[in-house]
Amino acid sequence: MYVSIKWKITLIFVLILLTTMTITNLFVSSSMSEYYINQRRVSQLTTANIIATTIANNVDNSAYNVREMLGYYIPRMDSRIIYTDATGKVLVDSVQESTMEGTVLSHFEVSQALQGINEHGIHNLPQSGWVMYVAVPIIQEGDVVGTVFTSSPISDVKQAVGYIRTLMLSISVISGVIVIILSFLLANSLVKPIDKLTKISKRMSKGELNSRVEIKSNDEIGALGESFNSMAEQLEKIETNRLRFLGDISHDLKTPLATIKVLTEALEGETNIDVYHEFHGDIISEVDRMTSMVNNILQLNKISNINVPLKKSDFIFAEVVSHSLMSICKIAENKNIKVSFEDFSHREHFYADREKIKAMTLNIMENAVKYTQEGGLVNISLRKEESYYILEIEDNGKGIPQEDIGYIFDRFYRVDKTRHRETGGSGIGLSIVKTVVDLHKGRIEVESEEGVGTKFTVSLPKLSY
């Protein structure tokens, strides 16, 4: 079941509020109740002890004299005061016409007082409601000779605490409503950009790759929006290059196929062996051309597969560069291009994927020769700097426009948008180069100026683990 995140955020805020308010209300009401009860307890114990001390110091503690003395305290305490002897028998009760005089009090508080301990207790009586019992001992010459027992109503304390609890509950309810509204508004403001992202994502899934999301917040949501737009731009660029590549590759495959068809048809009934050999060579050339294009595509897909681990081994980097150089010598000779290689690496071992490193060096070299005019120069050097191998390939060819340098490693991107069979390219070679460099945790830099030439600098860790 789909539940919007804004409702989840609102629910979280509400739960936090309810938990906080509940704990706060319980703590405050408990603290207030304890405070007022403690105040009443101290007051009752103080007065009871004064009465006990007065009785202990009197010579004549007859019932009449004690009752007269209690009459002074009763209005001030609003309590019932009972005077007992050392057995707990009631000698004087402040209540007129009391039936308790002569009976023995069995209250816990009285039993504690008879042992010389001040004691109090809270009780909820069926008829009187909430009351506080206080009992203190009467001590003469170190002996407990009786007790003073008081019973004071504390309903007013309970009512005061109840009122405070009700007030806090009302405040909590009002605060809760306000927080719920604010939480919903806040959640809605947080979710709104995400809703925009969702809508744009759905549009992009339908092929509208030019869609962008407008998020202006300077926070994580804003960063997410920027990342999304950056991803959308990359997808749009990849899709544009892919479509252009499909058009180019279709044309590049169609042309040799058409040529092969024409040459094959022309061979029918051809008796001139020289013409036959010429056409046969042309057919093989066109087949090789198509094979090269297909192999490049397969190689890029293979190298880009992150699920296939690098097949690392120890080898001499300079030997791989030399082998790649031999592969392009024929192309360079045909264009009268001078290719030089200087090795300053001391032929030390390199731990990497040999085949991928060879594919990288070969593609850069082929690229240099392809875009260098006849009679040009391609200089290759390999050196070691600290823990890195530095491979430089520099040519004096046509150069790369500055506006294209940032895109030359993108898949299917072609600086030369023509379909010229010599320089049109497929937009795959430099993608292979960049992928191999990244897989080996290296870096590649490009310096180029139109009409002057291009220089590729590849830096690879000597121990590329």
Report pLDDT for 412: 67
Does 9 share its domain with 155? yes
One domain, residues 321 and 457: yes
The answer to whether residue 190 sits within a structural domain is no
Same domain, 74 and 216: no
What is the C-alpha to C-alpha distance for residues 136 and 110, in angstroms, rounded to an integer?
8
In this structure, what CATH number is given to the domain that contains residue 22?
A: 3.30.450.20
Is residue 80 domain-shared with residue 93, that is, in the same domain?
A: yes
Token pair listed for 10: 């609102």
Instruction: Note down the domain range covering 22.
Output: 5-159
Q: Which residues on adjacent β-strands are paired with residue 457?
A: 392, 445
DSSP state of 140: E
Dihedral sign, Cα of residue 37, residue 38, residue 41, residue 47: negative
| pTM confidence score | 0.49
Residues 328 and 293 in one domain: no
β-partners of residue 312 are 353
Pair 117, 9 in one domain: yes
Say yes or no: 283 and 328 in one domain.
no
CB-count exposure of residue 29 (10 Å: 0-12, 13-18, 19+): middle
Domain boundary among 292, 308, 324: 308
pLDDT reported for residue 377:
93
Asked whether residue 301 falls in the same domain as residue 338, the answer is no
**Shared domain check, 303 and 320:** no
Are residues 396 and 279 located together in one domain of the fold? no
Residue 345 within any structural domain of the chain: yes
Q: What is the pLDDT of residues 212-232, one digit of tens each?
A: 877 777 777 778 888 888 888
**Which stretches of the chain score pLDDT less than 50?**
419, 421, 423-424, 465
CB 447 within 8 A of CB 454: yes
CA torsion sign, 439 to 440 to 442 to 443?
negative
User: How far apart (Å, rounded) are the C-alpha atoms in residues 331 and 230?
Assistant: 40
Which CATH number is 416's domain given? 3.30.565.10
Domain count for the chain: 3
Domain final residue pick, 308, 329, 354: 308
> What would you measure as the largest C-alpha separation in the chain, in angstroms?
160
Do 278 and 313 lie in one domain? The reply is no
169 within some domain: no
Does a structural domain hold residue 253? yes
Q: Which residue has the tokens 């005077």?
A: 83
Of the candidates 261, 326, 269, 265, the residue with the CA atom closest to the CA atom of residue 287? 261
Asked if residue 9 and residue 149 are part of one domain, the reply reads yes
- Residue 137 falls inside a structural domain: yes
Which CATH number is 233's domain given? 1.10.287.130
Is 197 a domain residue? Answer: no
